[in-house]
Homo-oligomer: A and B are copies of this chain.
Amino acid sequence: MTDIPQDHPRYLSLLTRERIVEGVKVGITSMQGLIAQGRGECFDYLLGEKTHQFATESERVAAAMLILAEHPIISVNGNTAALVPEQMIRLSEIVSASLEVNLFHRTDERVNRIIDHLMNNGASEVLGGKGDANLPLSHARGIVDKNGIFSADVVLVPLEDGDRCETLVGMGKKVITIDLNPLSRTSRTATVSIVDNVVRALDVIADAALGMQDWDREQLVKLVESYDNKVNLKMSLDAINENLRNMANEVL
């Protein structure tokens, strides 16, 4: 990795960049994933690089939805594999969800490399290597595992493609997304749209799930049913607008 001066004011953000660049170097992240990372950075910056109240709310609903699910899947791509392997494994264990590698720029080699990477990080099983079912989508990005995403009732898809998100929702699945752009097609289409950075969001979901271990089914259902995704997205946009105004007042 490049030596980043520790006195640089954006040290942590630059370090996260290094992690994803490392992902490209070891062949688990695509170059297009790097550009996507940059777009996410920008929206995170507009949100003040923090988890807002509206995000904590959608993250709690996501936790309840995952606990209630019969067959939940956490979809892993090249960016999340590089950035948050431990957090995804931890969440999958807490809510008893399976991990499945699912790539937009799919090659069998990269799928297998990511599976190995997750196993090396402590995962006990990772789906996605079979690719024995197809979502109704053109292109290799429709390939999934039959006993994985194809038959899941709830799918958590951090950093998802808008087309695929629409397709999963169209198949009747509940889709939870983590996407920093509240205006993306993914955010507008998902059942629960978490507008937060994936490096913060996964642990908030996991901790919320831990806090719900004594809850009965009725309580979980009530939380999920009380949630309005559109209202939540509007709050995230308001937060961006307010933050922009505050930053402007502070610095200009």
Contacts and interface: CB of A to CB of B under 8 A. Distances in A.
Interface of A: 2-3, 5, 7-10, 14, 17-18, 20-21, 24-25, 31-32, 34-43, 45, 105, 138-139, 162-163, 181, 183, 185, 188, 230, 233-234, 237, 240-241, 244-245, 247-248, 251-252
How many copies, total? 2
A129 to B, nearest CB: 21
A2 B107 CA distance: 11
A244 B237 contact: yes
Nearest to A233: B252
Nearest to A25: B31
Contacts of A3: 139
A163 B8 CA distance: 8
A2 B140 CA distance: 11
Contacts of A17: 32, 35
Contact of A38 (B36, B163, B230, B241): B36
Contacts of A18: 32
17 contacts: A5-B139, A9-B162, A10-B162, A20-B35, A21-B31, A31-B31, A34-B34, A34-B38, A37-B38, A38-B42, A39-B39, A45-B181, A183-B247, A188-B251, A188-B252, A230-B252, A241-B241
Nearest to A238: B248
A14 to B, nearest CB: 8
A166 to B, nearest CB: 10
Pick from A40, A163, A251 the residue with the most CB of B within 10 Å.
A251
A28 to B, nearest CB: 14
7 A-B pairs with least C-beta separation: A38-B38, A42-B42, A35-B38, A34-B34, A38-B39, A21-B31, A39-B42
